Structure 1
Amino acid sequence: MTVAIVGAGLTGSLLACFLARRGLSVTLYEKRADPRTGEAERGRSINLAISERGLDALRRIGLDEEVMADALPMKGRMIHPVDGPLDFHSYSASQDRAINSIGRGALNNALLDAAEKAPGVSIVFEHRLVALDSQTGAMGFETPGGLVEVTADVVLGADGAGSAVREQLVGDGSVVDDVDFLDYGYKELSIPSAGGEFVLDPGALHIWPRGTSMMIALPNPDKSFTCTLFWPAGSFDALTTPALILGYFGEHYPDLLPVAPTLVDDYLNNPVGVLGTVHTHPWQAHGRTALIGDAAHAIVPFYGQGANCAFEDVVALDRCLNETSGSWARALPLFEARRRDNTEAIAEMALANFVEMRDKVASPVFRLTKQLEHAVERLLPGHYVSRYELVSFSTTPYAEVRQRVRRQHQLLGVAVALGVGAVGALVRAAVRRR
């Protein structure tokens, strides 16, 4: 059986590694040139935060230690106010759990290497999908040498939020899609190392919350930081000269200026990216053509779960193939049925986390609430677990996380009203009803 995976990014490369274990003939088609031999596109990385769901997928094929060797653990958020001292918020009640910062390009290259070594996998670059017959698996690719036509038994679109496979499926009426664009854009900036050392704490994800906007920074192995501005759409256009840029950042991000010598150049020359949530229905057609990862359900990046969710898709599809004895016609609808509620849940939580990161984390009331939540977690280990820990440090299905956290918050509110002594009994009762 031949399988074509369109898109040799993170999801496609990982998926090829999983499918290779089944003895399938897999070809990865990528529209870009080989990213391992060229320069990364300027200002388009958005560093990734790999957590338990992504690590679980990598472990299953023995890639976790190799791929994550250069990742940097971040144990919490470091809040940068306009005035006053920095404020560290631990991600976990135990204060020892961490999400892992890794560059998208470095991770993609490692997964491409692994896919290339896998038996039965081939990768072809500079192949842009321009035609697809979802019933027969016939495809047309635009290449430097002209149009190339191929056919595969199964076609899987792992080509991201702007999926060409999804576009073809929409065009032939097999699926419908809706992209809910966020009224925000993003732009990347850089903080280099100084004297060969980090200039900010590398053990934290740094956040500059500013009400309706924010900036984040994640550490890199070369001891630099990649920063990302998330500002309302159109607001980037207001700063058109070095003087305006330096003046604005001096007022709103004063501690950035001393550590970002390329700020003006980065701001003027790096592109503004768009953000949105992709909704697609269905994810598959005719039991032989399907979408996976961002191609089916892209989300905004504010929970650090985009790649983690897509990697979990790969694990879920692999399980469905196991349960259906390798029948794609049965596995693809089963995969969608099992994953849809979960991907919708994390899409909703990612949007909510944006509000938390830009508006709430700087609030003393928010900090007190988190301290109380961590105290309850320590008091009732395993019974009360915060939403962040369930999302980032477990593989509990996202839809179950959403339901459990709602019950916990409801019961905690009741417990506070009744008295602290009631907290344990109420939370344990909720857990028993799961």
Structure 2
Amino acid sequence: MAKQPITLIGGGLVGALLAQQLAQCGFAVEVYEKRADPRLAGFQGGRSINLALAERGLQALRSAGLADGVLQRAVMMRGRMVHDRDGNSGLQRYGVDDSEVIWSVSRGALNMLLLDAAEAAGVQFHFGQSLVSADFDQQRIRMVDEAGVERSQQVGMLIGADGAGSAVRAAMNAYSPLGERIESLGHGYKELEIPPSSELPAAVLQLSGGRDQFALEPNALHIWPRGSFMCIALPNTEGSFTVTLFLASQSPAHSTAPSFANLPNATAAAAFFSEQFPGLLSLLPRFKEDYDSHPVGTLSTLYLDRWHLDGRALLIGDAAHAIVPFHGQGMNCGFEDTVVLANLLAAAPNDSAEVFAEFQRVRQPNANAIATMALENYLEMRDSVADPHYLAKRELGALLATRAPEHYMARYRMVTFSHLPYAYALERGQAQDVLLEQLLRGTTRVADVDLDAAVSLLRTSLPPLPPLRHG
């Protein structure tokens, strides 16, 4: 029996990777993308926090034969380089060594590589095409191009990979409510840029700690944590850094607390940066232009009760479970989605209703778990990384991982460097945190803890970790 054709709405990262994998499985795949082809028109992604590629995303790229090509366009990040208010900095490693790192990648460059790979696999792309409506009973969609010309198209399986503002989700929800809930963080973000070192004065570079073409240490995610707000900077291959300010959107009534509302222009923001992020402003020569011209992005978490309409339509990636970016897992989670869905469809190509239901059953608990951990990681990044109690728990956890690796692994490592389900990482991480709190009760000095007794308690309190799978 011939396989059903598949129509994908959305040719971004998740859509392009899924299309390539489905084509490799023998499906006829067409993709409709509302933006112009970035390989011809240049990437027009708008606001774009740099992407952190971790093991889950890398494994999906390996399965598609694309990992090596992506890593050639990425910059390794060993850990968080934490900058305090006094201008001091220190590295907090993500993993045990350089076998556990994450990679800073350009959204635009990655998207174009994935588009090339999908086309090479036989995928047909239609750019400049926006979804107007969907008739799920007749299995037809209406698209409109950039000139306003509409067309109607018969579809087989319809998959929405069109991001957090998904038009497919809106059409599905209008047809049959999906139980949509959008929870705003109440904080926004604005992007700035540190240029390559060749564009900065020598006096500035002497104080920044950079090397080669980078104004800062290149192999780290830089973070300036300040309690209720923070800045981060991720390296780009050409020597620049993408800087992102995360800040409350509004301040409480009659409050002067920092917020984007209270920093309406570059003049006000420059004074704020000089006070809160010493040394950073001098690395931002285009601060005024960037601050005044770049919009404030919004940060929200999307929850749905249902991701599909029987076997007719399915949502994947951010269209189904958009999260805030503070664990660097949005893309990685979406890429992991593509592998699960492609494998399910390859095993049952003509039972889309069962496949879509199984996909939601498997992935929804994990999507909800990483949404929770991403929100928690925001608090950790902007505040806890400089807190003595947090640092003591981190130090003690590292000692337990060394002494009893079969029983203890930091939650961040489970999420970032393994393929353990997100839901398991959340539950196990909570249990481990309870244990650390018990061991450190009344002290922030790890030297006060009896490590032999701590290891014994760990082994009796928690079962061994499941077998870990890397690469």
TM-score by shorter chain over 0.5: yes
**Of 403, 417, 425, the match for 1:401:** 425
Give yes or no for the alignment of 1:392 onto 2:416. Answer: yes
Q: Distance in 2 between matches of 1:215 and 1:48?
A: 15
Structure 1 residue 284: deviation in Å? 0.4
Partner of 1:428: 459
**Of 209, 212, 236, the match for 2:228:** 212
Structure 1 residue 125: deviation in Å? 0.4
Specify the SS of the correspondent of 2:298. strand
Q: Distance in 2 between matches of 1:341 and 1:6?
A: 24
Partner of 2:366: 342
Give yes or no for the alignment of 1:27 onto 2:33. Answer: no
Specify the SS of the correspondent of 2:261. helix
* CA displacement 1:70-128 (0-9 Å, x = unmatched): 11110100111111411211112346521100011111111111111112x10000100
Structure 1 residue 325: deviation in Å? 5.3
* CA displacement 1:333-387 (0-9 Å, x = unmatched): 0000111111000000000000001111122332232122112111122321000
Q: Is the 8 A contact 1:93 1:375 kept in 2?
A: no
Counterpart amino acid of residue 431 in structure 1: P
Specify the SS of the correspondent of 2:188. strand
Specify the SS of the correspondent of 1:431. coil
**Of 235, 240, 245, the match for 1:229:** 245
TM-score by length of 1: 0.95
**Root-mean-square deviation over aligned CA pairs:** 1.8
Partner of 1:141: 143
* CA displacement 1:258-296 (0-9 Å, x = unmatched): 211011111000011111001112100021201001000
**Of 114, 118, 122, the match for 2:121:** 118
Residues 42 and 168 of structure 1, relative CA distance in 2, 3 Å threshold? closer
Partner of 2:163: 160
Structure 1, 171-180 or 239-248: larger mean CA deviation: 239-248
Q: Distance in 2 between matches of 1:242 and 1:337?
A: 47
Q: Distance in 1 between matches of 2:162 and 2:64?
A: 22
Q: Distance in 1 between matches of 2:428 and 2:310?
A: 36
Matches within 5 A, 1:5-84: 5-41=8-44, 44-84=47-87
Q: Distance in 1 between matches of 2:230 and 2:30?
A: 41
Structure 1 residue 326: deviation in Å? 4.8
**Of 293, 296, 299, the match for 1:269:** 293
Q: Distance in 1 between matches of 2:46 and 2:283?
A: 18
Partner of 1:281: 305
Structure 1, 229-238 or 404-413: larger mean CA deviation: 404-413
Structure 1 residue 176: deviation in Å? 2.8
Specify the SS of the correspondent of 1:93. coil
Q: Distance in 1 between matches of 2:349 and 2:150?
A: 36
Partner of 1:128: 130
Residues 413 and 185 of structure 1, relative CA distance in 2, 3 Å threshold? closer
Structure 1 residue 173: deviation in Å? 1.8
Partner of 1:363: 387
**Of 386, 392, 398, the match for 1:374:** 398
Q: Distance in 2 between matches of 1:378 and 1:134?
A: 55
Q: Distance in 2 between matches of 1:414 and 1:188?
A: 40
Specify the SS of the correspondent of 2:215. coil
Specify the SS of the correspondent of 2:288. helix
Q: Distance in 1 between matches of 2:355 and 2:44?
A: 36
Partner of 1:102: 105
Q: Is the 8 A contact 1:217 1:227 kept in 2?
A: yes
Counterpart amino acid of residue 106 in structure 1: A
Structure 1 residue 40: deviation in Å? 3.6
Counterpart amino acid of residue 330 in structure 1: E
Structure 1 residue 241: deviation in Å? 4.7
* CA displacement 1:163-191 (0-9 Å, x = unmatched): 00000011112523111111011100000
Query: Percent of counterpart pairs with the same letter?
Result: 42
Q: Is the 8 A contact 2:397 2:436 kept in 1?
A: no
Specify the SS of the correspondent of 2:463. helix
Q: Distance in 2 between matches of 1:281 and 1:60?
A: 30
Q: Distance in 2 between matches of 1:41 and 1:26?
A: 24
Partner of 1:186: 189
Q: Is the 8 A contact 1:4 1:27 kept in 2?
A: yes
**Of 262, 268, 273, the match for 1:249:** 273
Counterpart amino acid of residue 216 in structure 1: I
Q: Is the 8 A contact 2:13 2:114 kept in 1?
A: yes
Partner of 2:256: none
* CA displacement 1:13-54 (0-9 Å, x = unmatched): 000011002211100100011112224448612100000000
Q: Distance in 1 between matches of 2:87 and 2:234?
A: 21
Q: Distance in 1 between matches of 2:356 and 2:99?
A: 38
Specify the SS of the correspondent of 1:46. coil
Specify the SS of the correspondent of 1:5. strand
Partner of 1:315: 339
Specify the SS of the correspondent of 1:238. coil
Residues 431 and 326 of structure 1, relative CA distance in 2, 3 Å threshold? farther
Structure 1 residue 411: deviation in Å? 3.5
Q: Is the 8 A contact 2:60 2:339 kept in 1?
A: yes
Structure 1 residue 389: deviation in Å? 0.2
TM-score by length of 2: 0.88
Structure 1 residue 161: deviation in Å? 0.4
Counterpart amino acid of residue 414 in structure 2: L
Structure 1 residue 139: deviation in Å? 0.2
Specify the SS of the correspondent of 1:62. coil
Q: Distance in 1 between matches of 2:282 and 2:322?
A: 36
Specify the SS of the correspondent of 2:131. strand
Q: Is the 8 A contact 1:43 1:187 kept in 2?
A: no
Counterpart amino acid of residue 259 in structure 1: L
Structure 1 residue 303: deviation in Å? 0.1
Structure 1: gaps (5+ residues): none
Structure 1 residue 7: deviation in Å? 0.3
Structure 2: gaps (5+ residues): 199-211, 251-258, 442-448, 467-471
